[in-house]
Chains A and B, each alone.
Chain A
Amino acid sequence: MSALPTRLAPVPLRVLATTPETADSTTLVLESGAIQPGAPGQFNMLYPFGLGEAAISISADDAAARRLVHTVRGVGPVSAAIAALRPGDVLGVRGPFGVGWPMRQARGRTIVLVAGGIGLAPLRPVIHAVLRERAAYGRLLVFYGARTPRERLFVPELAGWEASADLEFVTTVDSGDANWGGHVGFVTALLAQARFDPARTIAMTCGPEIMMRAVANHLRERGMAAEDIHVSMERNMKCAAGLCGHCQFGPLFICKDGPVFPYGRIAELMTVREI
């Protein structure tokens, strides 16, 4: 099979179901057609007809069901059009692209996940993969920071995770509301209270760059090796195939070298303004 047809041209796929997550985010379930399911941390380029493309991470590990699942926050014309799709609509998809989370290295180890905002979407497949093969991994600790309780994704699923003995899941919000009885404050503060053995832990984080840096620095201070901390980066992206040059981050191409990087590889770059 030639590498190209599914690489620069989208494959039209039908939307099977949609779940509104927040005021501006939606989870889409698509038939997978000719698109390979992809691994946790990889992404697809999604094309609402005639409008343009957006890079969107795989947000569920649903390969067995031959479904593609994406969670999209409408922040501009393209992402808003994707978030507004209804069952029966058709969306163009090309991918999967990029290097995902280090699932193989994570086997047998304690896994710490730190998600900020929409950053929970790319990390959710990691949770699914661990829960599906629970015995293959050590403890799973998940720290999720959202701006407000209403901006939390996957709310019914979160309740299940909070109640489950298979993982230790905590949410914190920047500002609560009348019904909020949970944590308020930065996700790093929660992380600081958690106990785990840094030497036997692998960490993965996705969210605003400033949060990921704070998380990585905290984990380094606790003695974790930089190569055991993995971050998912975001940059403007046009082709996702290493041809358009847009996603360069220092010498790295986010699309093909990432989006997931060991922190050791990018720690210095992350300190440079406007790079």
Chain B
Amino acid sequence: MADASPPTSPDAATEIAAAFVLPAARLADLVTALRMEGYAVHGPMVRDAAIVLGPLADAVALPHGWTTRQSPGGYRLERRTDAAVFGFTHGADSWKKLLHPPRVRLWSAERQGADFVVHEDAPAPAKLALFGVRGCDLRAIAAQDKVLLHGPYPDAEYAARRAEAFIVAADCAEPSGTCFCVSMGTGPSARAGFDLALAELDPHGDAHRFLVRIGSPRGGAVAAQLDLAPAAGADIAAAAALADIAAANMGRAMDKDAARALLPAQRESAHWQDVAQRCLTCANCTMVCPTCFCTTVEDTSDLSGDIAERWRQWDSCFTFEFSHVVGATVRESASARYRHWITHKLSAWYEQFGESGCVGCGRCITWCPVGIDITAEVAALQDLSQRDPR
């Protein structure tokens, strides 16, 4: 079997060979260099009053001077007073839409007399550059690698996209109101699993520039084409200081070790009924979560009944059908579905994949229509268990 490990495996210790400086005015050169290498570059851009990920024709499309204000159930796009390119935190979509697409055809089948033949779809060729991946999202990609590449049957579609993907990380200087990456050990700076990492310095003046760290030989080759000046020690220190400030400004935290033990122990807690009073089982949290990987399949056939197809699409454990078995649904209540989701994320994931399934990105908090906050639910359960230990 072919080795399915992608070249930028975030688990491999990334050696930071050197750091360089890229003036902000030359960010376009980096996008161009990637395009010249044959990459379809995807990155953040403003669309419909939000920052979303889309194909980047050039660096102009990046959200220069924009930020977002995020809170439980709330998201607002706002102007910044400076020209920062990465002065926002991620929106509702994540890189999983590119690496683990929402809908793919797995195969088609064709009737031939009494027989039928199956044509398996080869993974669509995709040479993607992911531009502006945050620390939390790097860890989310690593988490999906474990699920989709390192199990008994690696997923061909994901493997093909992942093997080619070039990752340009971007450190966070300002957390959003729902982030908690520090407590999950995933951010605010990119640590491993990238080809190049950018840290944005002095976005308010003429000295606006990026510290560029090299994470892989392939990243080094792209950087070499740009003929960059080596970074001064002061720039490296400035980037580290920004990361420290971002970490200090994190408004939320999760006690991940406590959550791991707490959730299975609290399966019968009355608190699940309390969450169920609020949760609409809308599935938003699972759609926006960068580690949620569940899918379902849809079998279709054409009008003649001679051509059939199987499509795979994202699914959510919040749907009623998800746990259907003959004549029944296992997780019938909203409380059981929320309990399953949060217990899987924060506890069962360790047993399955050796780490937490949550990277602290805060998306599920921002995009929950009723503002259910995963950190607050854990804290509430912790409170209850301390008051009434089982």
The chain A residues found within 8 Å of chain B, CB to CB, are 1-5, 7-12, 14, 47, 49-53, 75-76, 88-90, 92, 234-236, 238-239, 241-246, 248, 250-251, 253, 256, 272-275
Complex contacts, A89 vs chain B, CB 8 Å: 114
CA distance A49 to B351 in the complex (A): 37
Whether A90 contacts B114 in the complex (CB less than 8 A), given A236-B325, A246-B322, A275-B336, comes out as: yes
Q: Is the CB of B111 within 8 A of A243?
A: no
Partner of B344, one of A75, A243, A248: A248
CA distance A47 to B109 in the complex (A): 11
Q: What are 19 A-to-B residue pairs whose CB atoms are below 8 Å? A: A3-B1, A3-B152, A7-B153, A9-B106, A9-B118, A12-B117, A50-B299, A50-B305, A92-B109, A235-B323, A241-B151, A242-B153, A243-B151, A243-B153, A245-B294, A246-B315, A251-B352, A272-B268, A275-B336
Q: Is the CB of B267 within 8 A of A246?
A: no
CA distance A3 to B322 in the complex (A): 26
CA distance A2 to B1 in the complex (A): 5
Whether A242 contacts B151 in the complex (CB less than 8 A), given A8-B120, A53-B297, A275-B340, comes out as: yes
- 8 nearest interchain CB pairs? A245-B294, A274-B336, A50-B301, A251-B348, A241-B153, A251-B351, A50-B308, A9-B120
Complex contacts, A250 vs chain B, CB 8 Å: 264, 348
Q: For the complex, is B293 an interface residue (Cβ under 8 Å from A)?
A: yes
Q: Is the CB of A49 within 8 A of B295?
A: no
Complex contacts, B294 vs chain A, CB 8 Å: 244-246
Partner of A239, one of B154, B268, B297: B297
CA distance A133 to B107 in the complex (A): 41
| Interface size bracket, B side | 35 or more
CA distance A3 to B107 in the complex (A): 16
Q: For the complex, is B327 an interface residue (Cβ under 8 Å from A)?
A: yes
Partner of A236, one of B2, B114, B148, B324: B324
Name the distance in Å between A26's Cβ and chain B's nearest Cβ.
Answer: 16
Name the distance in Å between B301's Cβ and chain A's nearest Cβ.
Answer: 4
CA distance A49 to B148 in the complex (A): 27
Q: Is the CB of B296 within 8 A of A246?
A: yes
Q: Is the CB of B296 within 8 A of A235?
A: no
Partner of A49, one of B109, B153, B293: B109
Name the distance in Å between A131's Cβ and chain B's nearest Cβ.
Answer: 31
Q: For the complex, is B155 an interface residue (Cβ under 8 Å from A)?
A: yes
Whether A238 contacts B154 in the complex (CB less than 8 A), given A50-B305, A50-B308, A246-B322, comes out as: no
Whether A253 contacts B352 in the complex (CB less than 8 A), given A12-B115, A90-B115, A245-B315, comes out as: yes
Extra 20 A-B pairs, beta carbons < 8 Å, given A50-B308, A243-B151, A274-B332:
A3-B154, A12-B109, A49-B308, A50-B299, A50-B301, A88-B114, A89-B114, A90-B116, A92-B116, A92-B118, A236-B322, A236-B325, A236-B330, A238-B297, A245-B317, A248-B348, A250-B264, A251-B351, A272-B267, A274-B336
The chain B residues found within 8 Å of chain A, CB to CB, are 1-2, 106-107, 109, 111, 114-118, 120, 147-148, 151-156, 264, 267-268, 293-297, 299-301, 305, 308, 315, 317, 322-327, 330-333, 336, 340, 344, 347-348, 351-352
Partner of A234, one of B107, B296, B325: B325
Complex contacts, B351 vs chain A, CB 8 Å: 251
CA distance A251 to B301 in the complex (A): 35
CA distance A246 to B153 in the complex (A): 16
Partner of B299, one of A9, A52, A241: A52
Max chain B C-beta neighbours (<10 A), residue from A12, A88, A92, A243:
A243
Complex contacts, A256 vs chain B, CB 8 Å: 151-152
Complex contacts, A75 vs chain B, CB 8 Å: 326-327
Complex contacts, B115 vs chain A, CB 8 Å: 12, 14, 90
